[in-house]
Structure 1
Amino acid sequence: MDDRNDQEGAGMSWTVLPAAHFAEHATLWQQLHRRCGAPSLLAADFVAPLLAQFSTGRELLARCRMDGETVAMALIVPAGRAGWSTFQPAQAPIGLWLQRPGLDMERLAQGLMRALPGFPLVFGITQLDPAMHARPADCGSVRTLDYIDTARVTIEGSFDTYWNNRGKNLRANLKKQRARLARDGIPTRLVVCRDARDIAAAVEDYGRLEGSGWKAARGTAVDAGNAQGRYYRTMLENFCARGKGSVYRYYFGDQLVAADLCVEDADSIVVLKTAYDERVPNALSPTLLMREEACRRLFDEGRFRRLEFYGRVMDWHLRWTEDVRTMYHVNVYRWPGLRRLHTLLASTARSRQAAHPSP
């Protein structure tokens, strides 16, 4: 495919090319990442392995320059018959879209649509975090949709103060579990791996945990030999090589019972994946026990300001924090009238569904 360019107002130019060329532009992506103050989930060494393992060959790399400076970049794919969207493999918690702060997302997306092959009518930017991009109003050519609620723990003050503000039932339940383990002579142990040389073994351990449960039956478990396993190994080795990755492993005696795969940036740590041994008796919660000890360590170390989960908020998240926010998608239409029509059709469909619910 030849590069395509389009002007959208004075000084703005979009270029698109096959995403297979990402490695040639990774330095540029990383420079923009730093200028945006973007989280680790958009770093070049997080993104490149996603393409290596999960791309289909249809993805494009888009770059926007304004007055000679790169101000936005994205990985994008065709979506439906007349649309495009950001590339969104399941392993990426947020949409692969970077833009300089203060720029108009609607204007950027409109310019990108005019540079894309064919005649796209809509461009979707998926899984945006309002902590990074303030949610725009539904007006003009922009329509937003809720994605999920997600939670985070703010790390400030002492762990004891934080823990005493948790629910009484949570604290009592975990205290009871620890007493039971002590009576049975089973010590607990939290091991944190940060060395890139140890990541292969850590990902294999993680895969064995997921392979013991329901994800194995569905074929979605991480395994050292599948695309997910290769992705997490490569990505975490990259992050650990620069001191920004970690794998938390939790043991009952010598038995590995839970693990977290994590990436870090200057002020946050993100839990990407969690697995536990489903053969552990139901009276014990290895993930929650690990989380308590891991949180205590994070509070004591004081290296981060936030512990991010980014997955859909669950009941157990709400026992650990009240800090919940709604992630969202953005659709930008070629014309405002098309946005109004789409909104009307979606509203009509919801009304019909409410009037005639499925049996």
Structure 2
Amino acid sequence: MNQDAPTSRRDYFEDRRDCARASNVEDLMNATKNGVLNSHNRRDDYEEGRDSARALNSENYEEGRDCTRASNAENIVNATKKADRTEEKRGHGKNKCKKLAKLKPGEKIKVTFYNNHALCTTFARHIGRIVRDPSITPVRVKKWTDITETSLKHIFVAVKDKFENMDENIEIDVYKNDIMEHARYLWNNWRGDLSRHYVKPTKNMQQAIKNCPNDFAQADWEWLVKEHFCSKEFIAKSKRNSRNRSHLSILHHSGSKPFRKVIYDNGGKDNNPPALDALFFMTHTKGDNFIDSESSSKHAQIQEQMFSDPSLSNAQLMDKCFPSKRQDHIIGYGGGVKARHL
């Protein structure tokens, strides 16, 4: 018994050791398996996260790219619309008269006159510049008739200095009265534009004075606002003219081209001007159609009057078709044409 005891104890401890080793090995193997599994799981999680991040980044990139493209396209459209609106507001731009600037000293532009009016766009533009030039046409006047004879003479000389009649046998002085009437018409239109664009949009006189045009001396503008645009006479006349314009029911559609130029280009040059019904059709249609029924009805009325009484003169025919109390021009021929011109 005594000899077997140590052996038994040694065996016991060896068994415990072997069990412990086996347990440690098993734990180690399990730990290794778990570690490998966890590593695989972490790698799978990492790869899955990476793929998700890539997909999300790709989706965000594409979405951002599409949004950027859409935004850029929208900005381009908005910029185009803004440019169109700016172009509409800008109108014809500043009147530079480049043809006149290129003239040599003493050189003049030849113009053709028809119905006592020049058929030249540059001619009209030059007059427009003259009536806006304070060194030639005075600003501090309420109406055209307040301009002195000296200033009126200066205006005509400024026109005559740059132009001459195409017909060398007729001096441009023959058309002086008609040229000055043209200047008066452009001057009145310009003053009306000043009121419409710089005075009417404001709430009171002080705001109108501050809203001075760029090419205007402040002192001259202040005088014009106080003494003219805000006067009772001008306000009453402006309201009356607005009412009269609102009654116009038949409007021409020939644009900025004067009626006399339409007549000249369609037979007037060869002393064979178009009949009134043909002239009305050319100046009141777009394409081959009347814009409104009133213009079509009036055209039919002109043709009926011409057929019923061929002996009527052009002035008499227009008086029958367009009754008016005004005697200063013939209706249907555009501005500035009077009975003596026909």
- Calculate the TM-score normalised by the size of structure 1: 0.17
User: Per chain length, whose mean CA-contact separation is higher, i.e. which structure has more relative contact order (CA < 8 Å, sep 6+)?
Assistant: 1
- Calculate the TM-score normalised by the size of structure 2: 0.17
Decide which structure has greater helix share.
2
User: Which structure has the greater CA radius of gyration?
Assistant: 2
Decide which structure has greater strand share.
1
